Amino acid sequence: MKFGKELASQMVQEWQTAYMDYDNLKSLLKDVMIFRQEHALTSSSPSGPEARSRALKRRLTMYRAFSGLTRGTTVKTEDEVILVSSDGGAAAETHYQTMFLKSSEEGGEYEMVFFRRLDEEFNKVVKFYKEKVQEVKMEAQELNRQMDALIALRIKVDKPYMRNKKNKNDINSFRPAPLEILDHVKINVEPNTPVSTLKNVLGSSKSDLSFSKDELKRAEEKMIKVFVEFCQQLRLLKSYCFLNMLAFSKIMKKYDKITTRSASKSYLEMVDKSYLGTCDEVSKLIERTEATFIKHFANGNRRKGMKSLKPGHKVERHRTTFFLGLFTGCSIALAVAIIISIHARDLLNHERRGEYMESIFTLYSFVGFIVLHMVMYGMNTYYWRQYRVNYPFIFGFKPGTELGFREVLLVASGLSVLTLAAVLSNLDMEMDRRTERFQTLTELVPLALVLVVLSITFCPFNIIYRSSRYFLLSCAWHCLCAPLYKVTLSDFFLADQLTSQVQAFRSIQFYVYYYALGDFRKRSNKFLGTSVYDLLYIVVAIIPYWSRVLQCLRRLFEERDPMQGFNALKYLSTIAALVMRTMYSLNLRKPMFWRIMAASTSGFTTVYNTYWDIVIDWGLLRKNSKNPWLRDKLLISNKAVYFVAIVVNILLRLVWMQLVLDFNETRFLHRKAMVTLVACLEIIRRGIWNFFRLENEHFNNVGKYRAFKSVPLPFHYEDEKIR
């Protein structure tokens, strides 16, 4: 692998603009090489006395004194190429500058441009590294204070009989940490849970120490997370230093090779003597952090401590690819079998086609929505990884537990096999005269499928990606309990996904009514059209939108960001449009008043949501950007992709209007099939939205160099002067 690709693959993506621009410097060297190649013909074929003189010089070199195969210190006989100097400023403001001494030579201006750009990159790297080192040093000082408070709390809770008095008769006596520090410390109450949120609203965000074991346990858990994140930050900073030093070494050696000069030695000596090469504070901090963590949180067990500190690495397994291919092939075969069965038995013209579409098709479509959404998410993860979007960090996955596109598509294909097998068996039992008496059993097949899916989802055993399942359930619970939980990106991102699953929520309602009331025994839907069912039909659909409204209001309260208020209004307008559309569709008479209300609210929310998608969530349509009508930074080089995505998003948003314009019925599709098709198009639109939304978030993190999670500290010092 070429070094440029290796550098791009190993760099911290959120810091990519702070790394040495290796590709740009390499392009400048390419200009130097092209110039030298173009002017090599006139200087490489001399004739006459000059040619004989050069031949004599080359021959005389054969008789030069032999210097040995293993050289020691050699006398420099070649002319100086560059002169590197610094401005002599403060250590934090030192500016390095390279003077090219061969500028008078033909083509020297190209090399001058190269060294000027090289100095800019080096000064940029050194400045960024200094700033980050100062940040981690300040964080280390705060961690010292947090550890003092934690150790004192341990003594107070575990050994309250101990006193801070030194035994003068025993020099080697054990001296516990001073307990007086607890007089100036309070517990930070982060509004991350319903209880802490209520405490934060009713009282202060700080509370006095209770010296209970539960309090100590919570403080220790927070400190462990802080140490793990801090150690990861130090390792990435060390990697940043190493990769940049290697990049400067590579580019200078490439310069020497192209120009046949010897400038790399003097320049790399300057790199080694700079802050980038001499600062060892990060390495020392790593050693001290690891030693502290092993001593205080792993009981001296280094293996256990390092296992907690070092993030896990995801291991790709061949069996995942094998089963993905197997399940995909089985799904295709089952789909073909269903199509053949429907065509061979002419089921589309069957007398009970309407009953089947109203009941069984609705039950199976619920699982179909889930499978389609998983397929779209699997494609998202594939392209995020292709374009180096750090989606595990953005979503907050535990390192090493995130699912890649293979794992996501494996689960989706496995679920599709179960669903399609259930559909095929249901059709066979439906049409086979020998199983007509088992009609009740036939109707229970969709319920059995859903129960299998639910049992896998809530399975407590460590199988089928338990950590990812629990992460999903945790985010879903946070969405359901909004605004009692602190809103994270993963929470509102999942809530946005649920807003595209309105028909899935309504299918859940149908499941409950269909099986709880016993109508499945006769395949009757008497509950459809009742006032209670119609009311719940509206309420169930607005649940995900209402969850987003509450999340936006909480972020508005905490972050004081007015954009969150406008975002909440967007979801409120969507709720209004959804209610009006539903009431219009449920009214058999289709009065003009409800049609006008549904059309006006749907039109307004379509424009509002489309603008928000493209301008706010995707960050596009920037008039004065480097890429006209897009944004300054783009992941995809082909700009047409973004314009196509904008057009597709607008068209799929307009599909909402089909319920208002009475396009529910077509000659070829049943009404339920049409509703399902529209729901599938909305899921596809959401999948497209996901990619560009996370791309915009990725560049937001890059712009602010946010490569680490902000972990709350357990203690708060009332007197900031205490150290």
pLDDT one-digit tens code per residue, 274-293: 999 888 999 999 999 999 99
- pLDDT higher than 60, residue 300: yes
User: Domain boundary residue among 278, 310, 342?
Assistant: 310
User: Do 450 and 497 sit in the same domain of this protein?
Assistant: yes
Query: What pLDDT, on a 0 to 100 scale, did the predictor assign at position 203?
Result: 60
- If asked whether residues 256 and 189 sit together in one domain, one would say yes
Structure tokens at 68: 């040995």
**Strand pairing partners for 82?**
100
Rounded CA gap, 339 and 348, in Å? 11
**Residue 12: closest CA among 125, 138, 130, 141:** 125
Query: Rounded mean pLDDT of the chain?
Result: 84
Q: What is the pLDDT of residues 78-137, one digit of tens each?
A: 457 888 887 765 445 678 888 888 878 887 888 889 999 999 999 999 999 999 999 999
pLDDT at position 413 is 96
Inside any domain, residue 111: yes
Domain of residue 410, residue span: 318-703
N-to-C CA span, the chain: 50
pLDDT at 435: 59
Q: Are 304 and 374 in a shared domain? A: no
Mean predicted confidence (pLDDT) in 542-568: 94
720 found inside a domain: no
Does residue 59 form part of some domain? no
- Is the predicted pLDDT of residue 371 greater than 60, yes or no? yes
**289, 333: one domain:** no
User: Contact at 8 Å (CB) between 126 and 275?
Assistant: yes
Q: Residues 247, 359: one domain?
A: no
The Cα 546–Cα 45 span in angstroms is: 81
pLDDT tens profile 375-429: 999 999 999 999 989 899 899 888 788 899 999 999 999 999 999 999 998 888 7
Does position 167 have pLDDT exceeding 70, yes or no?
no
CA quadruple 559, 565, 571, 575: dihedral sign: positive
Residue 49 lies inside a defined structural domain of this protein: no
- Mean pLDDT for the stretch of residues 261-266: 87
Q: Are residues 297 and 347 in the same domain?
A: no
Q: Of 310, 332, 365, at which residue does a domain stop?
A: 310
Instruction: Tell me, yes or no, whether 708 lies in a domain.
Output: no
Nearest to 372 by CA among 694, 681, 692, 650: 681
**pLDDT the model gives residue 72:** 38
| 472 and 342 housed in the same domain | yes
Residues 522 and 671 in one domain: yes
**Which pLDDT belongs to residue 382?**
95
269, 85 Cβ separation under 8 angstroms: no
Helix, strand or coil for residue 284? helix
- Bridge partners for 564 per DSSP: none
- pLDDT of residue 590 exceeding 80: no
Q: Are residues 579 and 612 located together in one domain of the fold?
A: yes
The H-assigned helical ranges of 346-404 are 353-358, 360-386, 391-395
pLDDT score, position 2: 83
In a domain, 76, yes or no: no
Asked if 431 and 565 sit in the same domain, the reply is yes
- Amino acid occupying residue 36: R
**DSSP symbols for 54-93:** HHHHHHHGGGSPP--SS--S----SPP-EEEEE----GGG
Task: Name the one residue in this structure whose structure tokens are 């602010």.
Answer: 704
Q: How confident is the model at residue 719, as a pLDDT?
A: 67
pLDDT band at 194 (very low <50, low <70, confident <90, very high): confident
**Structure-derived torsion over alpha carbons of residues 530, 532, 534, 537, reported in degrees to the nearest 10:** -140
Is the confidence at residue 162, as pLDDT, over 60? no
Closest CA to 467 of 409, 398, 373, 415: 398
Q: Which residues contact 246 (CB under 8 A, 6 or more apart)?
A: 3
Comparison of pLDDT for 195 and 161, the residue scoring more? 195
**Nearest-angstrom CA–CA distance, 669 and 486:** 44
- The mean pLDDT of 187-205, rounded to a whole number, is 68
Q: If pLDDT is split at 50, 70 and 90, which confidence band does 176 have? A: low
Domain-embedded: residue 675: yes
**Mean pLDDT, residues 156-170 taken together:** 59
DSSP string, 558-616: HH--HHHHHHHHHHHHHHHHHHHHHHHHH-TT--HHHHHHHHHHHHHHHHHHHHIIIII
Give percent of the chain with pLDDT exceeding 70. 84
Cα angle value 55/60/63 (rounded, 5°) = 150
Per DSSP, which regions of 150-285 are E strands?
185-188, 206-207
> How many separate domains does the chain show?
2
Tokens of 528: 């459809």
Q: How confident is the model at residue 710 (pLDDT cuts 50, 70, 90)?
A: confident
Q: Which residues contact 318 (CB under 8 A, 6 or more apart)?
A: none
Together in a domain, 250 and 366? no
Q: Is residue 716 part of a domain?
A: no
- Enter the pTM of the model: 0.84
- Of 575, 579, 527, nearest to 547 by C-alpha is 575
Of 310, 340, 373, which residue sits at a domain end? 310
DSSP SS3 for 129: helix
In terms of domains, do 472 and 504 share one?
yes
The 8-class DSSP code of residue 387 comes to: T
